[in-house]
Chains A and B, each alone.
Chain A
């Protein structure tokens, strides 16, 4: 009874899907050696970038004073000079805009009294809304240690669970490496774009673990458990699903980034965007390449495939 209805509409969707798969088929045609090599090159470049230009630590990891004023529209350099003259301490000013408000963030070295900065600014902008925070270097150090520990443990836990699910050395190791590479590339991009490493961005890197395993597990499951399709067909169906997944998430994150003026949310969104872009390559090129190589080798060996 339902047949007419279910038959009538899918055609349009099928065409879209076929088109998408066709567009992505260049990935399927790629030789696995190249598929493995290119992402590895990117990974090495990211490592070099990290060595040269590691992202700066945010004040919550390093210590410092920051005053945020909302409802202020000012030239950062002029404002910095004004405040520095007024309070006798060198400050750095950054401006930001959101949908509803714009504002500035004033960074000052530890030991500066945030109230003096606020007082100085209030003379110029009495109507603005002020918030401030300060972190001592000792706490920054603790937060750093905890952050590193959180990342390391989360990563290990992820690795263990992946092993338990697949019980297969090569695919599991590839997923783990792919997650590592995602994070490395995301952090390298943070360095390039001047995004600070803070507890919020560490949270984003942790989130990345969740997103990374999603797509990698999808790919690995499809390729290892495929019974009815060829490797290429299974790969194409997986990559088109993955493409949908990534673009949807990227779109939502982009909106989040545009709308929010909260630095925490902004930074989380942008780091996730970096990571998802890296993940697209690492999953659908690197991981797929390794799996292709692994499966053809298994087949040659006279394995089950």
Chain B
């Protein structure tokens, strides 16, 4: 008896299992598991580029997104490109739905950046080469230094010659090539010198955007939808600003792209215009830049009534400049927010569910064989398998999300199935003599492992497509399934076979 036990314990399969088990427990102790957003809490966003892009552009997009979110002071951010159109953004430690929505709007507002002067676009986000740290002065004035490309600087020098005090505008995602329908008062404000910085003689904002972006502005005077459509001939879309909402439905029914911008409560005409156009500025052109000499190092200055506002204004410009170089527009097409407290609940639940499932397996296997010496090894092998998978996940810092947990369940489920196959093969053919039983046992084990390898191979083959191909969250599922199946066939199943042979008296 003792010799058999010793032989079992010295079997390399058992040793392998023990080593992996100890290794996993140690790993889990020193390097705790990390969880996905859907368990630890946080927000996951899926953004889609306006059109498919190449790998290089995608890299630019993810870099700039990462930078932008970092400047917002968010931590634990991952930005990951999937395929040629999808960017997955995960931000942990987000505690309120409001905060989650804010992140969404940040990503969405990240757009294509234009610098315009006197109705001519002289640079885009790609021309911003470097943005310096902004400065707040004791008198609450602020400045953001940045460097523009040589070509933009040359173009600008030519345009700006002798035009001190003229307005320089910056836009983030203006409604290019569109017809804007605005209330009378808004129209008047746009067509006045309100947006002209220190140069009333410069073209009005309305003239500038018409020339630069082909945006026509029309004052709303109860025009019918048909009349508006006529006015919008040749434009890409219609932007309705603070006009009766039914126009939107009517125009949409006519299959026209419409953006509807209602006025926020208490919003002034000025604020509304700035918001609709994505306008930053206008900034007054300093004298130094009007002599016709191209200058790449420029700065935007402004002043605010108090330090906090100054800080806000400067940091907004800073982030816009810094991240404005997005080569393509992004839309947030999906988001999911899980509060951290809930995530906590999920985690304990997953634990309970796992323990519950394990006990169920134990009881049902006992019920089938009426032998604890089968039921206990089967259930504990599953437990070992789970520990090793988790240990491995901790080792490579795999973020366990719900689909990953489902994958572990799948792997353990097939694991139990396969242990039952082994057990039944071992239990079969008991009536034969011992010698023939021995040889037939080998045959039976061979058959059991043929089944196991065949099903493992099919599962891995089926899942590896998921791993390579993007299917959002299914990646985690595929990964843990494959990992579990591999650990099963390489480590736990062979060890279980030895243990079962020992316990069932086959030697």
Contacts and interface: CB of A to CB of B under 8 A. Distances in A.
Interface in B329-387: 331-339, 341-342, 345-346, 349-350, 352-353, 356-361, 363-365, 368-371, 373-374
B403 A264 contact: yes
B53 interface: no
Interface in A63-118: 70, 98-101, 114-115, 118
A265 interface: yes
Contacts of B368: 16, 20, 244, 247-248
B298 interface: no
Contact of B352 (A247, A252, A254, A259): A259
Interface in A108-160: 114-115, 118, 129-136, 138-139, 142-143, 146-147, 149-150, 153-155, 157-158, 160
5 contacts: A2-B1, A6-B505, A147-B471, A149-B469, A248-B361
A255 interface: yes
B474 A199 contact: yes
Interface of B: 1, 4, 38, 46, 48, 85-86, 97-98, 100-101, 331-339, 341-342, 345-346, 349-350, 352-353, 356-361, 363-365, 368-371, 373-374, 402-403, 405-407, 409-410, 413-414, 416-418, 420-421, 424, 427-430, 440, 443, 447, 450-451, 454-455, 457-459, 461-466, 469-474, 477, 481, 485, 504-507
Name the prevailing secondary structure of the B interface residues.
helix
B414 A161 contact: no
Nearest to A148: B471
B471 A199 contact: yes
B406 A268 contact: yes
Contacts of A131: 97, 336-339, 342
A182 interface: no
Given A70-B345, A218-B451, A221-B447, A5 B505 contact: yes
Name the prevailing secondary structure of the A interface residues.
helix
A245 B417 contact: yes
Contacts of B427: 10, 13, 17
Contact of A70 (B342, B402, B455): B342
Interface string A216-242: 011001100101100000000100110
Given A1-B1, A251-B361, A214 B418 contact: yes
Contacts of A260: 349-350, 353
A143 B472 contact: yes
A3 interface: yes
Given A150-B474, A199-B471, A262-B346, A138 B48 contact: yes
Contacts of B463: 154, 206, 210
Contacts of A248: 360-361, 364-365, 368, 416-417, 420
B21 to A, nearest CB: 21
A6 B504 contact: yes
In which size bucket is the chain A interface?
Answer: 35 or more
A207 interface: yes
Given A2-B4, A101-B345, A222-B447, 18 more contacts: A7-B505, A16-B368, A129-B342, A130-B339, A134-B334, A135-B333, A135-B335, A136-B331, A139-B333, A143-B471, A146-B472, A154-B463, A162-B454, A211-B414, A211-B417, A241-B421, A255-B360, A264-B38
List 5 tightest A-B contacts by C-beta distance, closest first: A6-B505, A139-B333, A133-B336, A154-B462, A157-B461
A199 B461 contact: no
A214 B336 CA distance: 35
Contacts of A206: 462-463, 466, 474, 477
Contacts of A256: 353, 356-357, 409
A247 B440 CA distance: 28
A241 B38 CA distance: 37
B334 A133 contact: yes
A200 B338 CA distance: 17
A240 B353 contact: no
A28 to B, nearest CB: 16
B13 to A, nearest CB: 20
A199 B454 contact: no
A252 B48 contact: no
Contact of A155 (B369, B451, B462): B462
A244 B424 contact: yes
B83 to A, nearest CB: 9
A146 B361 contact: no
Given A147-B471, A237-B424, A265-B406, A12 B352 contact: no
Contact of B458 (A146, A149, A162, A259): A162
Contacts of B365: 244, 248
B4 A221 contact: no
A17 to B, nearest CB: 7
Contacts of B371: 9, 12-13
